[in-house]
Structure 1
């Protein structure tokens, strides 16, 4: 049986754990096997973490009652000349979320998602974006929390939610 969890703001020393959650997000499929170093050094993924914590970076960490981090959600402002998968424009932070597999389907992702949207709103952002592969079960979570598809790709879609 799992204990409960709480959330806290992410800090600079959380960069290693955010890396773990970036790997979880990239390997979301059961049996996902891309090695940590491959994910973290790929041009597609390193932009979400390199130099954490920059001035506009914000995030939340979910921590089990035993003090062990179990999930994270964070956002970054990415430049137009180095957009992420879910880039929609200047002034719209892009969200990344990852949850340890043993903690999925237990409310961690939803709690993190709601918290990070609230944080983005408090920081003055009107919208927040993300990218999700079409067959990722998290897509249903995003829809249920008010994210809408704004751009369709071959295998992944960009989704946006108003924060207010």
Structure 2
């Protein structure tokens, strides 16, 4: 398994993975149409790759099995894990069939290295209550709770 940088051509992959992240329970709580049409959700990927967007894709053989991506959002159009205009918000998902094989650790480590190299001071994200596997992964990588949004915690990782 290896990492590659996310490209302009990865939008459909990232949308599929964002849906995977929203449906982390295994229930089909959202559809791809929901993800594509919701203006709030669109903040994460509309116009992918804008200047400043950063992402990595995990590839097993030739098949993408997960990705992490981030972009800076603003106070007037925040994401679920918004902290500050200069703190990009991260989205991450691993395909259901690839979970439990270290893909998340590989992705998050590689992404944080790239974000640090890009000069980012921190990244944030949102993790839903009950998503203990994701929360444990983020905490192992130094993310700490800094806020609450509905049924989710906002976590921050200083770089």
Whether the aligned pair in 2 keeps the contact of 1:87 and 1:130 (CA below 8 Å) is yes
Q: What runs of 5+ residues in structure 2 fail to find an aligned partner?
A: none
**Structure 1 residue 15 corresponds to structure 2 residue 11:** yes
**Structure 1 residue 26 corresponds to structure 2 residue 22:** yes
Whether the aligned pair in 2 keeps the contact of 1:23 and 1:40 (CA below 8 Å) is no
Specify which of 63, 67, 89 is matched with residue 68 of structure 1. 63
Q: For the residues of structure 2 that align with 1:125 and 1:79, how far apart are their CA atoms?
A: 15
Superposition misfits of 4+ residues, deviation over 2 angstroms:
none
Aligned to 1:139: 135
Structure 2 counterparts to residues 1-164 of structure 1, below 5 A: 5-65=1-61, 67-136=62-131, 137-163=133-159
Could you say what the CA RMSD is over the residues aligned between the two structures, in angstroms?
1.0
| Secondary structure of the structure 2 residue equivalent to 1:75 | strand
TM-score by length of 2: 0.96
TM-score by length of 1: 0.93
Size of the aligned set, in residue pairs, is 158
